Amino acid sequence: MPEEPTEPPETPLDAETVEPAPRPMPRCPRCGWQNVRISLTKGPLDLILGVVSIQRFKCRSCGNYFRRWRRL
Q: Where are the domains of the chain?
A: 36-69
Strand 54-59 versus strand 36-38 pairing type: antiparallel
pTM across the whole model: 0.61
Selected residue with higher pLDDT from 13 and 5: 5
User: What is the chain's mean pLDDT, rounded?
Assistant: 81
Q: Residue 66's Cα: distance from chain center in Å?
A: 17
Inform me whether the pLDDT recorded for 54 exceeds 80.
Answer: yes
